[in-house]
Amino acid sequence: MPSRRRTLLKVIILGDSGVGKTSLMNQYVNKKFSNQYKATIGADFLTKEVQFEDRLFTLQIWDTAGQERFQSLGVAFYRGADCCVLVYDVNSMKSFDNLNNWREEFLIQASPSDPDNFPFVVLGNKIDVDGGNSRVVSEKKARAWCASKGNIPYFETSAKEGINVEEAFQCIAKNALKSGEEEEIYLPDTIDVGNSSQPRSSGCEC
Amino acid sequence: MEKRRIDDCEPGPVPSPRPVDRFGFVKQEHGSPYEGVIKSRSAIQFEREERRVRKWRKMIGVGGSDWKHYVRRKPHVVKRRIRKGIPDCLRGLVWQLISGSRDLLLMNPGVYEQRHGPGQRSLYNVLKAYSVYDRDVGYVQGMGFLAGLLLLYMSEEDAFWLMVALLKGAVHAPMEGLYQVGLPLVQQYLFQFDHLVKEHLPKLGEHFTKEMINPSMYASQWFITVFSYSFPFHLALRIWDVFLFEGVKIVFKVGLALLTYCHDDLIKLPFEKLIHALRNFPEDAMDPDKLLPVAYSIKVSKRLEELKSLYEKQNKKVVQSAETNGKVKQQDMQED
Protein backbone atom coordinates (compact mmCIF):
# COMPACT_ATOMS: atom_id res chain seq x y z
CA MET A 1 0.00 0.00 0.00
CA PRO A 2 1.67 3.26 -1.04
CA SER A 3 1.94 5.93 1.69
CA ARG A 4 -1.04 4.94 3.79
CA ARG A 5 -2.46 8.03 5.39
CA ARG A 6 -2.47 8.08 9.09
CA THR A 7 -5.70 9.70 10.18
CA LEU A 8 -6.43 8.28 13.61
CA LEU A 9 -4.78 9.50 16.81
CA LYS A 10 -5.57 7.67 20.00
CA VAL A 11 -5.32 9.56 23.28
CA ILE A 12 -5.97 8.20 26.75
CA ILE A 13 -6.80 10.32 29.81
CA LEU A 14 -5.73 9.08 33.25
CA GLY A 15 -5.85 10.50 36.75
CA ASP A 16 -7.52 10.19 40.13
CA SER A 17 -11.26 10.12 40.58
CA GLY A 18 -12.90 13.54 40.45
CA VAL A 19 -9.99 15.55 38.98
CA GLY A 20 -12.05 16.45 35.89
CA LYS A 21 -11.03 14.02 33.14
CA THR A 22 -14.52 13.70 31.71
CA SER A 23 -15.16 17.44 32.06
CA LEU A 24 -11.95 18.33 30.21
CA MET A 25 -12.90 15.99 27.38
CA ASN A 26 -16.43 17.40 27.25
CA GLN A 27 -15.23 20.99 27.27
CA TYR A 28 -12.80 20.28 24.45
CA VAL A 29 -15.14 18.24 22.25
CA ASN A 30 -18.59 19.68 23.05
CA LYS A 31 -17.73 23.07 24.60
CA LYS A 32 -19.95 22.13 27.52
CA PHE A 33 -19.50 21.92 31.26
CA SER A 34 -21.79 20.50 33.92
CA ASN A 35 -21.44 21.08 37.65
CA GLN A 36 -23.06 17.73 38.32
CA TYR A 37 -20.60 14.96 39.02
CA LYS A 38 -21.17 11.56 37.52
CA ALA A 39 -18.44 9.02 38.10
CA THR A 40 -17.24 7.34 34.91
CA ILE A 41 -17.83 3.60 35.02
CA GLY A 42 -15.61 1.55 32.75
CA ALA A 43 -14.51 3.95 30.06
CA ASP A 44 -16.01 6.63 27.89
CA PHE A 45 -15.03 7.80 24.51
CA LEU A 46 -15.34 10.86 22.26
CA THR A 47 -13.84 11.86 18.94
CA LYS A 48 -12.92 15.17 17.41
CA GLU A 49 -11.59 16.14 14.03
CA VAL A 50 -8.41 18.19 14.21
CA GLN A 51 -6.54 19.92 11.44
CA PHE A 52 -2.79 20.32 11.05
CA GLU A 53 -1.48 22.07 8.00
CA ASP A 54 -3.95 20.90 5.40
CA ARG A 55 -4.65 17.50 6.82
CA LEU A 56 -7.51 16.24 8.91
CA PHE A 57 -7.03 13.85 11.78
CA THR A 58 -9.47 12.10 14.02
CA LEU A 59 -8.55 12.48 17.63
CA GLN A 60 -9.97 9.51 19.51
CA ILE A 61 -10.10 10.36 23.20
CA TRP A 62 -10.55 7.58 25.77
CA ASP A 63 -11.75 8.73 29.14
CA THR A 64 -11.22 6.27 31.97
CA ALA A 65 -12.63 5.66 35.44
CA GLY A 66 -10.41 7.20 38.10
CA GLN A 67 -11.02 4.83 40.98
CA GLU A 68 -8.11 2.45 41.38
CA ARG A 69 -10.46 -0.52 41.47
CA PHE A 70 -11.33 0.04 37.82
CA GLN A 71 -7.78 -0.10 36.52
CA SER A 72 -8.18 -3.72 35.52
CA LEU A 73 -10.84 -2.60 33.04
CA GLY A 74 -8.92 0.40 31.73
CA VAL A 75 -5.77 -1.41 30.72
CA ALA A 76 -7.56 -2.92 27.73
CA PHE A 77 -7.73 0.59 26.29
CA TYR A 78 -4.12 1.57 26.93
CA ARG A 79 -2.75 -0.42 24.04
CA GLY A 80 -2.08 1.49 20.88
CA ALA A 81 -2.34 4.90 22.52
CA ASP A 82 -0.40 7.67 20.77
CA CYS A 83 -0.41 10.03 23.73
CA CYS A 84 -1.28 9.75 27.42
CA VAL A 85 -2.78 12.70 29.30
CA LEU A 86 -2.22 12.74 33.07
CA VAL A 87 -4.66 14.94 34.96
CA TYR A 88 -4.55 16.12 38.58
CA ASP A 89 -6.53 18.65 40.59
CA VAL A 90 -4.38 21.62 41.73
CA ASN A 91 -6.48 21.66 44.92
CA SER A 92 -5.61 18.08 45.84
CA MET A 93 -2.07 17.03 46.76
CA LYS A 94 -2.99 13.37 46.66
CA SER A 95 -4.11 13.58 43.05
CA PHE A 96 -0.75 15.18 42.22
CA ASP A 97 1.25 12.61 44.17
CA ASN A 98 -0.53 9.86 42.26
CA LEU A 99 0.61 11.12 38.84
CA ASN A 100 3.70 8.98 39.17
CA ASN A 101 1.64 5.83 39.75
CA TRP A 102 -0.58 6.59 36.78
CA ARG A 103 2.44 7.19 34.55
CA GLU A 104 4.15 3.98 35.62
CA GLU A 105 0.99 1.91 35.40
CA PHE A 106 0.44 3.20 31.88
CA LEU A 107 3.98 2.36 30.76
CA ILE A 108 3.70 -1.15 32.20
CA GLN A 109 0.28 -1.90 30.72
CA ALA A 110 0.60 -0.18 27.34
CA SER A 111 4.22 -1.30 26.93
CA PRO A 112 5.05 1.25 24.18
CA SER A 113 8.03 0.45 21.97
CA ASP A 114 10.05 3.39 23.28
CA PRO A 115 8.86 4.05 26.84
CA ASP A 116 11.49 6.74 27.53
CA ASN A 117 10.17 8.90 24.72
CA PHE A 118 6.49 8.10 24.89
CA PRO A 119 4.56 11.38 24.89
CA PHE A 120 2.72 12.37 28.04
CA VAL A 121 1.00 15.68 28.72
CA VAL A 122 0.18 16.80 32.27
CA LEU A 123 -2.85 18.96 33.07
CA GLY A 124 -3.36 20.70 36.43
CA ASN A 125 -7.10 21.22 36.42
CA LYS A 126 -9.62 23.23 38.50
CA ILE A 127 -7.52 26.42 38.69
CA ASP A 128 -10.82 28.35 38.85
CA VAL A 129 -11.90 26.90 42.21
CA ASP A 130 -12.24 29.48 44.98
CA GLY A 131 -10.33 32.02 42.91
CA GLY A 132 -7.20 29.93 43.36
CA ASN A 133 -7.30 30.25 47.16
CA SER A 134 -7.75 26.54 47.85
CA ARG A 135 -4.83 25.59 45.68
CA VAL A 136 -2.28 23.28 47.31
CA VAL A 137 -0.01 22.26 44.41
CA SER A 138 2.09 25.14 43.10
CA GLU A 139 2.81 25.57 39.43
CA LYS A 140 6.52 25.44 40.24
CA LYS A 141 6.20 22.07 41.93
CA ALA A 142 4.18 20.65 39.04
CA ARG A 143 6.63 21.95 36.43
CA ALA A 144 9.55 20.52 38.38
CA TRP A 145 7.97 17.06 38.34
CA CYS A 146 7.25 17.33 34.61
CA ALA A 147 10.84 18.39 33.96
CA SER A 148 12.16 15.43 35.94
CA LYS A 149 10.18 13.00 33.78
CA GLY A 150 11.72 14.06 30.49
CA ASN A 151 10.20 17.52 30.03
CA ILE A 152 6.55 16.58 29.89
CA PRO A 153 4.49 19.50 28.53
CA TYR A 154 2.39 21.04 31.30
CA PHE A 155 -0.82 23.08 31.24
CA GLU A 156 -2.93 24.65 33.96
CA THR A 157 -6.57 24.33 33.01
CA SER A 158 -10.13 24.96 34.04
CA ALA A 159 -12.60 22.66 32.35
CA LYS A 160 -15.35 24.79 33.87
CA GLU A 161 -14.19 28.11 32.45
CA GLY A 162 -12.63 26.60 29.34
CA ILE A 163 -9.21 28.01 30.27
CA ASN A 164 -6.28 26.50 28.34
CA VAL A 165 -8.33 23.47 27.30
CA GLU A 166 -8.09 24.09 23.57
CA GLU A 167 -4.37 24.85 23.86
CA ALA A 168 -3.73 21.72 25.90
CA PHE A 169 -5.49 19.43 23.44
CA GLN A 170 -3.68 21.07 20.52
CA CYS A 171 -0.45 20.06 22.18
CA ILE A 172 -1.80 16.59 22.98
CA ALA A 173 -2.78 16.07 19.34
CA LYS A 174 0.60 17.28 18.07
CA ASN A 175 2.44 14.96 20.43
CA ALA A 176 0.21 12.06 19.48
CA LEU A 177 0.93 12.72 15.83
CA LYS A 178 4.66 12.89 16.45
CA SER A 179 4.71 9.59 18.30
CA GLY A 180 2.72 7.98 15.51
CA GLU A 181 5.14 9.24 12.90
CA GLU A 182 8.14 7.73 14.59
CA GLU A 183 6.47 4.35 14.67
CA GLU A 184 5.02 4.26 11.21
CA ILE A 185 7.60 4.67 8.52
CA TYR A 186 5.14 4.48 5.63
CA LEU A 187 3.80 7.92 6.43
CA PRO A 188 3.97 10.50 3.65
CA ASP A 189 6.71 12.94 4.51
CA THR A 190 4.69 15.95 3.46
CA ILE A 191 3.41 16.67 6.96
CA ASP A 192 5.82 18.62 9.05
CA VAL A 193 4.25 19.30 12.40
CA GLY A 194 7.55 20.60 13.75
CA ASN A 195 7.07 23.78 11.72
CA SER A 196 3.42 24.07 12.53
CA SER A 197 2.01 27.53 11.99
CA GLN A 198 -0.20 27.12 15.07
CA PRO A 199 0.69 29.56 17.83
CA ARG A 200 2.89 27.89 20.37
CA SER A 201 1.15 27.25 23.61
CA SER A 202 2.92 27.85 26.85
CA GLY A 203 4.76 24.86 28.17
CA CYS A 204 4.30 22.70 25.10
CA GLU A 205 7.65 21.57 23.84
CA CYS A 206 6.43 20.44 20.47
CA MET B 1 -34.60 13.92 49.05
CA GLU B 2 -38.24 13.10 49.30
CA LYS B 3 -38.94 9.51 50.00
CA ARG B 4 -41.64 7.58 48.28
CA ARG B 5 -44.32 6.09 50.42
CA ILE B 6 -44.97 2.49 49.62
CA ASP B 7 -48.70 2.73 50.10
CA ASP B 8 -49.06 5.95 48.21
CA CYS B 9 -50.82 4.61 45.19
CA GLU B 10 -52.31 7.70 43.67
CA PRO B 11 -50.00 10.61 44.25
CA GLY B 12 -51.87 13.88 43.97
CA PRO B 13 -50.72 16.54 41.59
CA VAL B 14 -47.58 18.10 42.99
CA PRO B 15 -47.24 21.77 42.20
CA SER B 16 -43.98 22.22 40.36
CA PRO B 17 -42.58 25.12 38.41
CA ARG B 18 -41.24 22.71 35.80
CA PRO B 19 -43.15 19.81 34.23
CA VAL B 20 -42.20 16.42 35.66
CA ASP B 21 -42.87 12.88 34.51
CA ARG B 22 -44.68 10.23 36.56
CA PHE B 23 -41.50 9.45 38.47
CA GLY B 24 -40.99 13.08 39.46
CA PHE B 25 -38.08 13.73 37.11
CA VAL B 26 -38.00 17.10 35.40
CA LYS B 27 -38.98 16.55 31.79
CA GLN B 28 -36.38 17.17 29.15
CA GLU B 29 -37.16 19.85 26.64
CA HIS B 30 -37.14 17.47 23.73
CA GLY B 31 -40.16 15.20 24.07
CA SER B 32 -39.43 11.57 24.86
CA PRO B 33 -41.63 8.86 23.38
CA TYR B 34 -42.62 8.04 26.94
CA GLU B 35 -44.25 11.44 27.27
CA GLY B 36 -46.67 10.45 24.57
CA VAL B 37 -47.58 7.35 26.51
CA ILE B 38 -48.54 9.42 29.54
CA LYS B 39 -50.64 11.82 27.53
CA SER B 40 -52.53 9.07 25.80
CA ARG B 41 -53.36 7.28 29.05
CA SER B 42 -57.06 6.82 28.85
CA ALA B 43 -59.59 5.96 31.51
CA ILE B 44 -59.50 2.36 30.35
CA GLN B 45 -55.78 2.16 30.86
CA PHE B 46 -56.18 3.70 34.28
CA GLU B 47 -58.74 1.08 35.25
CA ARG B 48 -56.53 -1.67 33.92
CA GLU B 49 -53.70 -0.45 36.09
CA GLU B 50 -56.01 -0.30 39.09
CA ARG B 51 -57.01 -3.93 38.50
CA ARG B 52 -53.37 -4.87 38.19
CA VAL B 53 -52.53 -3.20 41.49
CA ARG B 54 -55.42 -5.05 43.19
CA LYS B 55 -54.10 -8.38 41.89
CA TRP B 56 -50.64 -7.51 43.16
CA ARG B 57 -51.92 -6.47 46.57
CA LYS B 58 -53.70 -9.81 46.92
CA MET B 59 -50.55 -11.65 45.90
CA ILE B 60 -48.40 -9.77 48.44
CA GLY B 61 -50.77 -9.68 51.41
CA VAL B 62 -50.59 -7.10 54.19
CA GLY B 63 -46.97 -5.94 54.51
CA GLY B 64 -45.84 -8.93 52.42
CA SER B 65 -47.36 -11.62 54.65
CA ASP B 66 -48.70 -13.79 51.82
CA TRP B 67 -45.80 -13.36 49.42
CA LYS B 68 -43.69 -16.44 50.15
CA HIS B 69 -46.73 -18.66 50.15
CA TYR B 70 -47.87 -17.30 46.81
CA VAL B 71 -44.43 -17.67 45.20
CA ARG B 72 -44.24 -21.30 46.31
CA ARG B 73 -47.73 -22.07 45.03
CA LYS B 74 -47.68 -20.18 41.74
CA PRO B 75 -44.08 -19.31 40.76
CA HIS B 76 -44.99 -18.94 37.08
CA VAL B 77 -47.73 -16.43 37.76
CA VAL B 78 -45.31 -14.38 39.82
CA LYS B 79 -42.64 -14.53 37.12
CA ARG B 80 -45.10 -13.51 34.43
CA ARG B 81 -46.45 -10.61 36.43
CA ILE B 82 -42.96 -9.35 37.30
CA ARG B 83 -41.93 -9.47 33.67
CA LYS B 84 -44.86 -7.20 32.86
CA GLY B 85 -43.53 -4.71 35.40
CA ILE B 86 -44.23 -4.27 39.08
CA PRO B 87 -46.79 -1.50 39.78
CA ASP B 88 -44.79 1.56 40.76
CA CYS B 89 -46.62 2.07 44.05
CA LEU B 90 -45.67 -1.44 45.23
CA ARG B 91 -42.21 -1.59 43.73
CA GLY B 92 -40.26 -0.74 46.89
CA LEU B 93 -41.94 -3.41 48.97
CA VAL B 94 -41.80 -6.08 46.28
CA TRP B 95 -38.10 -5.42 45.61
CA GLN B 96 -37.39 -6.09 49.28
CA LEU B 97 -39.46 -9.27 49.19
CA ILE B 98 -37.89 -10.80 46.11
CA SER B 99 -34.30 -9.86 46.97
CA GLY B 100 -34.51 -11.50 50.38
CA SER B 101 -33.43 -8.24 52.06
CA ARG B 102 -36.56 -8.17 54.24
CA ASP B 103 -35.46 -11.36 55.96
CA LEU B 104 -31.93 -10.03 56.46
CA LEU B 105 -33.28 -6.91 58.15
CA LEU B 106 -35.56 -8.91 60.44
CA MET B 107 -32.73 -11.25 61.39
CA ASN B 108 -30.30 -8.40 62.11
CA PRO B 109 -32.18 -5.77 64.09
CA GLY B 110 -30.15 -2.72 64.99
CA VAL B 111 -27.19 -3.52 62.74
CA TYR B 112 -27.87 -0.66 60.36
CA GLU B 113 -28.30 2.00 63.08
CA GLN B 114 -24.87 1.22 64.47
CA ARG B 115 -23.28 2.06 61.20
CA HIS B 116 -24.53 5.45 60.20
CA GLY B 117 -24.33 8.87 61.74
CA PRO B 118 -27.24 11.26 62.03
CA GLY B 119 -27.91 14.18 59.77
CA GLN B 120 -26.04 12.94 56.72
CA ARG B 121 -27.42 12.48 53.31
CA SER B 122 -29.21 9.22 52.52
CA LEU B 123 -26.99 8.11 49.71
CA TYR B 124 -23.84 8.81 51.66
CA ASN B 125 -25.28 6.97 54.64
CA VAL B 126 -26.13 3.83 52.73
CA LEU B 127 -22.81 3.68 50.88
CA LYS B 128 -20.81 4.46 54.00
CA ALA B 129 -22.77 1.82 55.93
CA TYR B 130 -22.04 -0.74 53.26
CA SER B 131 -18.35 0.09 53.07
CA VAL B 132 -18.10 -0.39 56.84
CA TYR B 133 -20.23 -3.55 56.79
CA ASP B 134 -17.98 -5.10 54.15
CA ARG B 135 -14.50 -3.67 54.49
CA ASP B 136 -13.02 -6.04 51.92
CA VAL B 137 -15.17 -4.56 49.19
CA GLY B 138 -15.45 -1.06 50.64
CA TYR B 139 -16.89 1.69 48.51
CA VAL B 140 -16.67 1.31 44.76
CA GLN B 141 -17.98 3.77 42.20
CA GLY B 142 -21.00 2.20 40.61
CA MET B 143 -22.53 1.15 43.90
CA GLY B 144 -23.94 4.67 44.11
CA PHE B 145 -26.16 4.06 41.12
CA LEU B 146 -27.62 0.97 42.75
CA ALA B 147 -28.16 2.67 46.10
CA GLY B 148 -29.62 5.75 44.42
CA LEU B 149 -32.19 3.70 42.57
CA LEU B 150 -33.16 1.79 45.71
CA LEU B 151 -33.50 4.96 47.79
CA LEU B 152 -36.21 6.22 45.46
CA TYR B 153 -38.35 3.29 46.61
CA MET B 154 -37.37 2.56 50.21
CA SER B 155 -35.77 3.86 53.37
CA GLU B 156 -32.02 3.99 53.97
CA GLU B 157 -32.09 0.91 56.16
CA ASP B 158 -34.13 -1.07 53.64
CA ALA B 159 -31.83 0.03 50.82
CA PHE B 160 -28.78 -0.98 52.86
CA TRP B 161 -30.14 -4.48 53.41
CA LEU B 162 -31.09 -4.84 49.79
CA MET B 163 -27.48 -3.99 48.89
CA VAL B 164 -26.32 -6.64 51.35
CA ALA B 165 -28.79 -9.17 49.90
CA LEU B 166 -27.49 -8.53 46.37
CA LEU B 167 -23.78 -8.36 47.09
CA LYS B 168 -23.70 -11.27 49.53
CA GLY B 169 -26.16 -13.37 47.55
CA ALA B 170 -29.28 -13.90 49.67
CA VAL B 171 -31.32 -15.32 46.79
CA HIS B 172 -29.11 -15.33 43.69
CA ALA B 173 -25.36 -15.63 43.14
CA PRO B 174 -23.45 -12.97 45.12
CA MET B 175 -22.63 -9.78 43.19
CA GLU B 176 -19.69 -8.70 45.31
CA GLY B 177 -17.26 -9.96 42.66
CA LEU B 178 -18.37 -7.02 40.51
CA TYR B 179 -16.69 -4.70 43.00
CA GLN B 180 -13.78 -6.66 44.44
CA VAL B 181 -10.18 -5.88 43.52
CA GLY B 182 -9.60 -6.85 39.89
CA LEU B 183 -13.37 -6.86 39.28
CA PRO B 184 -13.32 -10.66 38.82
CA LEU B 185 -17.03 -11.04 38.17
CA VAL B 186 -17.05 -8.23 35.60
CA GLN B 187 -14.26 -10.03 33.75
CA GLN B 188 -16.24 -13.28 33.83
CA TYR B 189 -19.47 -11.63 32.64
CA LEU B 190 -17.66 -9.86 29.80
CA PHE B 191 -16.13 -13.18 28.74
CA GLN B 192 -19.54 -14.84 28.78
CA PHE B 193 -21.20 -11.95 26.98
CA ASP B 194 -18.53 -11.88 24.29
CA HIS B 195 -19.19 -15.56 23.55
CA LEU B 196 -22.96 -15.11 23.62
CA VAL B 197 -22.78 -12.26 21.08
CA LYS B 198 -20.73 -14.42 18.73
CA GLU B 199 -23.15 -17.34 19.14
CA HIS B 200 -26.45 -15.48 18.95
CA LEU B 201 -25.46 -12.84 16.42
CA PRO B 202 -22.61 -14.39 14.43
CA LYS B 203 -22.55 -11.74 11.70
CA LEU B 204 -22.42 -8.90 14.20
CA GLY B 205 -19.87 -10.81 16.25
CA GLU B 206 -17.66 -11.07 13.20
CA HIS B 207 -18.11 -7.38 12.49
CA PHE B 208 -17.12 -6.54 16.08
CA THR B 209 -14.00 -8.68 15.77
CA LYS B 210 -13.07 -6.99 12.51
CA GLU B 211 -13.56 -3.53 14.04
CA MET B 212 -11.74 -4.56 17.24
CA ILE B 213 -14.75 -3.94 19.45
CA ASN B 214 -15.10 -6.03 22.56
CA PRO B 215 -17.69 -5.91 25.36
CA SER B 216 -15.28 -4.22 27.80
CA MET B 217 -15.72 -1.11 25.67
CA TYR B 218 -19.48 -0.87 26.09
CA ALA B 219 -20.96 -3.49 28.42
CA SER B 220 -18.97 -3.25 31.67
CA GLN B 221 -21.29 -0.53 33.02
CA TRP B 222 -24.33 -2.66 32.16
CA PHE B 223 -23.13 -5.29 34.60
CA ILE B 224 -21.56 -3.02 37.24
CA THR B 225 -24.72 -0.92 37.63
CA VAL B 226 -27.39 -3.28 36.24
CA PHE B 227 -28.39 -0.73 33.59
CA SER B 228 -28.88 2.06 36.12
CA TYR B 229 -25.92 4.13 34.84
CA SER B 230 -27.06 5.54 31.54
CA PHE B 231 -30.38 4.02 30.58
CA PRO B 232 -33.79 5.70 30.82
CA PHE B 233 -35.23 5.44 34.30
CA HIS B 234 -38.46 3.68 33.29
CA LEU B 235 -36.46 1.02 31.45
CA ALA B 236 -34.03 0.57 34.35
CA LEU B 237 -36.96 -0.03 36.71
CA ARG B 238 -38.49 -2.70 34.51
CA ILE B 239 -35.11 -4.44 34.21
CA TRP B 240 -34.68 -4.27 38.00
CA ASP B 241 -38.07 -5.88 38.57
CA VAL B 242 -36.89 -8.92 36.65
CA PHE B 243 -33.29 -8.75 37.83
CA LEU B 244 -34.25 -9.01 41.50
CA PHE B 245 -36.52 -11.99 40.84
CA GLU B 246 -34.61 -13.90 38.17
CA GLY B 247 -31.01 -12.80 38.69
CA VAL B 248 -28.21 -11.48 36.50
CA LYS B 249 -29.16 -13.44 33.40
CA ILE B 250 -31.62 -10.65 32.54
CA VAL B 251 -28.64 -8.31 32.08
CA PHE B 252 -27.25 -10.68 29.43
CA LYS B 253 -30.69 -10.99 27.83
CA VAL B 254 -31.29 -7.24 27.68
CA GLY B 255 -27.77 -6.69 26.34
CA LEU B 256 -28.32 -9.24 23.59
CA ALA B 257 -31.79 -7.80 22.92
CA LEU B 258 -30.31 -4.32 22.41
CA LEU B 259 -27.78 -5.69 19.93
CA THR B 260 -30.48 -7.76 18.21
CA TYR B 261 -32.82 -4.77 17.97
CA CYS B 262 -30.12 -2.57 16.42
CA HIS B 263 -28.36 -5.37 14.53
CA ASP B 264 -28.95 -4.09 11.00
CA ASP B 265 -27.68 -0.62 11.83
CA LEU B 266 -24.71 -1.72 13.91
CA ILE B 267 -23.40 -4.11 11.28
CA LYS B 268 -22.79 -1.24 8.85
CA LEU B 269 -20.87 1.01 11.21
CA PRO B 270 -17.09 1.49 11.40
CA PHE B 271 -15.30 1.51 14.77
CA GLU B 272 -15.80 5.18 15.64
CA LYS B 273 -19.52 5.21 14.97
CA LEU B 274 -19.98 1.75 16.38
CA ILE B 275 -18.55 2.63 19.76
CA HIS B 276 -20.78 5.69 19.86
CA ALA B 277 -23.88 3.72 18.86
CA LEU B 278 -23.21 1.12 21.54
CA ARG B 279 -23.34 3.83 24.18
CA ASN B 280 -26.26 5.75 22.71
CA PHE B 281 -29.05 3.42 21.69
CA PRO B 282 -32.01 5.00 19.88
CA GLU B 283 -35.06 5.80 21.98
CA ASP B 284 -37.32 3.22 20.38
CA ALA B 285 -34.80 0.50 21.23
CA MET B 286 -35.06 1.52 24.87
CA ASP B 287 -38.84 1.28 25.05
CA PRO B 288 -39.36 -1.47 27.65
CA ASP B 289 -42.45 -2.84 25.91
CA LYS B 290 -40.47 -3.35 22.71
CA LEU B 291 -37.12 -4.35 24.17
CA LEU B 292 -38.12 -6.65 27.02
CA PRO B 293 -40.18 -9.14 24.96
CA VAL B 294 -37.11 -9.57 22.75
CA ALA B 295 -34.99 -10.07 25.86
CA TYR B 296 -37.38 -12.66 27.36
CA SER B 297 -37.30 -14.67 24.15
CA ILE B 298 -33.51 -15.11 24.30
CA LYS B 299 -32.45 -18.21 26.21
CA VAL B 300 -29.10 -17.99 27.95
CA SER B 301 -29.21 -19.96 31.25
CA LYS B 302 -27.64 -23.22 30.10
CA ARG B 303 -24.99 -21.56 27.98
CA LEU B 304 -24.09 -19.15 30.79
CA GLU B 305 -23.33 -22.12 33.03
CA GLU B 306 -21.15 -23.75 30.37
CA LEU B 307 -19.30 -20.52 29.63
CA LYS B 308 -18.72 -19.99 33.34
CA SER B 309 -17.05 -23.40 33.57
CA LEU B 310 -15.00 -22.62 30.48
CA TYR B 311 -13.93 -19.29 31.95
CA GLU B 312 -12.97 -20.89 35.24
CA LYS B 313 -10.98 -23.58 33.46
CA GLN B 314 -9.11 -21.02 31.35
CA ASN B 315 -8.59 -18.72 34.28
CA LYS B 316 -7.40 -21.40 36.68
CA LYS B 317 -4.01 -21.46 35.05
CA VAL B 318 -3.71 -17.68 35.23
CA VAL B 319 -4.79 -17.60 38.87
CA GLN B 320 -2.38 -20.36 39.80
CA SER B 321 0.58 -18.65 38.19
CA ALA B 322 -0.39 -15.37 39.83
CA GLU B 323 -0.55 -17.11 43.20
CA THR B 324 2.88 -18.60 42.70
CA ASN B 325 4.23 -15.16 41.85
CA GLY B 326 2.58 -13.76 44.93
CA LYS B 327 4.26 -16.38 47.11
CA VAL B 328 7.63 -15.62 45.60
CA LYS B 329 7.14 -11.94 46.29
CA GLN B 330 6.21 -12.64 49.90
CA GLN B 331 9.32 -14.72 50.38
CA ASP B 332 11.42 -11.98 48.86
CA MET B 333 9.99 -9.51 51.32
CA GLN B 334 10.65 -11.81 54.25
CA GLU B 335 14.23 -12.23 53.17
CA ASP B 336 14.60 -8.49 52.97
Res. B332: pLDDT tops 60: no
Please check whether residue A198 lies inside any domain of the structure.
Answer: no
pLDDT attached to residue B201: 98
- Strands of chain B (E only): list them: none
**B227-264 tens-digit pLDDT:** 999 899 999 999 999 999 999 999 999 999 999 999 99
Contact B272 A65 (CB under 8 A): no
What pTM was computed for the model? 0.81
Please check whether residue A133 lies inside any domain of the structure.
Answer: yes
Please check whether residue A155 lies inside any domain of the structure.
Answer: yes
- Lowest-confidence segment of A51-65, B194-208, B284-298 by average pLDDT: A51-65
Determine how many CB atoms are found less than 10 A away from the CB of residue B25: 11
Q: In whole angstroms, give the CA distance from residue B103 to residue B161.
A: 9
Please check whether residue A75 lies inside any domain of the structure.
Answer: yes
Burial class (CB in 10 A: 0-12, 13-18, 19+), B65: exposed
Characterize the bridge pairing of strands A55-64 and A43-52. antiparallel
Please check whether residue A200 lies inside any domain of the structure.
Answer: no
Total domains, chain A: 1
Min Cα separation B220/chain A (Å): 6
Determine how many CB atoms are found less than 10 A away from the CB of residue A15: 24
Please check whether residue A203 lies inside any domain of the structure.
Answer: no
Contact B183 A70 (CB under 8 A): yes
Please check whether residue A202 lies inside any domain of the structure.
Answer: no
Q: In whole angstroms, give the CA distance from residue B201 to residue A59.
A: 30
What angle in degrees, to the nearest 10, is found between the helix axes of B184-200 and B249-261? Answer: 40
Higher pLDDT, A123 or B272: A123
- Lowest-confidence segment of A12-26, B20-34, B51-65, B91-105 by average pLDDT: B20-34
Is B248 in contact with B172 (CB distance < 8 Å)?
yes
**B52-71 tens-digit pLDDT:** 999 999 999 887 888 989 99
Rounded mean pLDDT, A32-47? 88
Contact B279 A41 (CB under 8 A): no
Contact B217 A60 (CB under 8 A): no
CATH number at residue A99: 3.40.50.300
pLDDT attached to residue B318: 65
Determine how many CB atoms are found less than 10 A away from the CB of residue B63: 12
Contact A39 B142 (CB under 8 A): yes
**A58 chain-B contacts, CB cut-off 8 A:** 272
Q: In whole angstroms, give the CA distance from residue A190 to residue B186.
A: 46
Of A40, A44, A73, the CB nearest to B186: A73
Please check whether residue A199 lies inside any domain of the structure.
Answer: no
Enclosing domain of residue A28 = 3-34+42-191
**A131-154 tens-digit pLDDT:** 999 999 999 999 999 999 999 999
Res. B18: pLDDT tops 80: no
Q: What angle do CA B213, B216, B219 make, to 5 degrees?
A: 100
Nearest CA in chain A to B224: A41
**A149-191 tens-digit pLDDT:** 999 999 999 999 999 999 999 999 999 988 766 555 444 444 4
Quote the ipTM score. 0.81
Strand, helix or coil for residue A134: coil
